[in-house]
Amino acid sequence: MQGRGLLAAAVVLIGLSGALYWSNKQEAAKVDQPDPKAPPKILEIHTDNVNQVDIVKEGVTTTIARKDGKWEITAPKVIRADQSAADYLAGSFTSLTSEKLIEEKVTDLAGFGLDNPKLTVIITKKDGKTAKLLIGDDTPIGGSAFVKLENEAKVYAIAGSVKATWDKTAKDLMDKRLLAIDSDKLTKIELIAKGQIVEFNKDASKTWMIVKPKPHRADGGLIEDLVKKITDAKPSITPTDEEIKKFTTAFAGATPVATVKVTDAAGTQQLEIRQGTDKSQYAKSTMAEGAYMMPADWGEFFAKPTDAYRNKKLFDFGFKDVNKIVWKDGDKSRTLDRKDDKWWDNGKQMDFTSVQSLTDKLRELTATKFVETGFTTASIEVTVGTEKILISQTGERFLAQRAGEATLYELDKTAVSELRQAAGDVKAAPTKK
């Protein structure tokens, strides 16, 4: 009896194993099968393989093509293309999926508006082969549109958002920036306004410096804001051709406010801003045809004085650059050295937190304004690494100067008081028990 039971159990086990084997085999086979519920795919051309796109609408053809790795509009006339907009258009064919298959074999193209399509898109691949999409009427419901490949009989429905991606003109795809510059390769900026020329140069370490009207340290953050303003320079509205003519006429009779000259690896470009009698701002660029209306604050932004871009910080050191601090205040002095992430003063370990507090105060030390004269004998000398500042006191007025520079910085007396307090609070590290 026991043998029969074991035999029956073995037969059942073999049966279960066989069923499991076939079940796993069928599941594995399904992995390679397309999902029957998935929307049908119309086209698949990877972005990198798209070499040209022609959009035909109302008898006008707009063409974007790759040239030397960048997009350019070549029809109806040659103009600069917005690289992001062109990339987005080319990327729409990477995996073009329909919402549903409408008809397997269409016999009446007119019923879908495909006999005379309102929009035709021709994609040319790197190998020269093309794919032609015909976009017809909108579907009665759902906000979709009918579409088919020219050489196929199937009619699909695509989302209205996909159709909108293709429904573009040269004006939609053009680079609307007034200056076509590469901000990373920018080496020189000139601002000409109110009878003054402010010039910024980027040195070998990619640090911006003011070189005109006098050499000064520049505030890197403010210069980056300036670069962004120039890089993103676009009209406040996208004008029609008639409006451009109108703005160009207004620009010719307007008062000059500021001129911006920028130089990158490709050369120098210029943007001139003028203001009309009604305070309207117009700009004309060497890289765009005609003049454009700009935001109301544009002219004043580029007409700031030199001091608006100067660096008011007394020290340039970063958070990891401090290894030595030399402090002298009258007859008080100390030298702090950092070794193995510990601070030492004449062989004695110092409390890390108190030294860090002094470091923070030095890093944050900022002038309230720039002055030309008034510096007397230095009462405080502070050296951090290779940077040294001198501070003089006349009554309650404090002026600072960086060693080797002529610039004078006026300091708030509270900031000096807090700096002295932080220096006095530096103490020895607690003794370990």
pTM above 0.75, yes or no: no
Model confidence pLDDT, tens digit, residues 159-208: 999 999 999 999 899 988 888 888 888 999 999 999 999 999 998 888 99
For 388-392, what is the mean pLDDT?
Answer: 96
Q: How confident is the model at residue 45, as a pLDDT?
A: 96
pLDDT tier at 382, thresholds 50, 70, 90: very high
Query: Are residues 155 and 260 located together in one domain of the fold?
Result: no
Report the distance separating Cα 71 and Cα 56, nearest Å. 18
Report the distance separating Cα 90 and Cα 300, nearest Å. 39
Q: Do the domain assignments include residue 336?
A: yes
pLDDT tier at 11, thresholds 50, 70, 90: very low
Q: Do the domain assignments include residue 256?
A: yes
Query: Are residues 305 and 340 located together in one domain of the fold?
Result: no
Would you say residue 333 has pLDDT above 50? yes
Which of 309, 344, 375 delimits the end of a domain? 309
Would you say residue 36 has pLDDT above 80? no
Would you say residue 26 has pLDDT above 80? no
Would you say residue 394 has pLDDT above 80? yes
Query: Are residues 187 and 169 located together in one domain of the fold?
Result: no
Give the total number of structural domains in the chain: 3
Q: Do the domain assignments include residue 178?
A: no
Q: Do the domain assignments include residue 211?
A: yes
Which of 173, 194, 221 delimits the end of a domain? 173
Report the distance separating Cα 226 and Cα 245, nearest Å. 29
Report yes or no: 210 and 199 within 8 Å, Cβ to Cβ: yes
For the beta carbon of residue 282, count every other beta carbon within 10 angstroms. Answer: 26
Find all residues with CB under 8 Å of 429, minimum gap 6, and list them: 342, 349, 350, 351, 352
Would you say residue 319 has pLDDT above 50? yes
Q: How confident is the model at residue 403, as a pLDDT?
A: 93
Which of 150, 173, 196 delimits the end of a domain? 173
pLDDT tier at 412, thresholds 50, 70, 90: very high
Query: Are residues 195 and 292 located together in one domain of the fold?
Result: yes
Q: What residues make up the domain containing 106?
A: 41-173
Query: Are residues 296 and 413 located together in one domain of the fold?
Result: no
Query: Are residues 265 and 376 located together in one domain of the fold?
Result: no
Would you say residue 419 has pLDDT above 90? yes
Q: What is the CATH number of the domain that holds 126?
A: 2.60.40
For 224-239, what is the mean pLDDT?
Answer: 86
Report yes or no: 384 and 317 within 8 Å, Cβ to Cβ: yes
Find all residues with CB under 8 Å of 338, minimum gap 6, and list them: 322, 323, 324, 344
Query: Are residues 70 and 97 located together in one domain of the fold?
Result: yes
Report yes or no: 78 and 64 within 8 Å, Cβ to Cβ: no
Query: Are residues 259 and 148 located together in one domain of the fold?
Result: no
Q: Do the domain assignments include residue 225?
A: yes
Query: Are residues 166 and 52 located together in one domain of the fold?
Result: yes
Report the distance separating Cα 230 and Cα 235, nearest Å. 12
Report the distance separating Cα 210 and Cα 202, nearest Å. 9
Report yes or no: 287 and 180 within 8 Å, Cβ to Cβ: yes
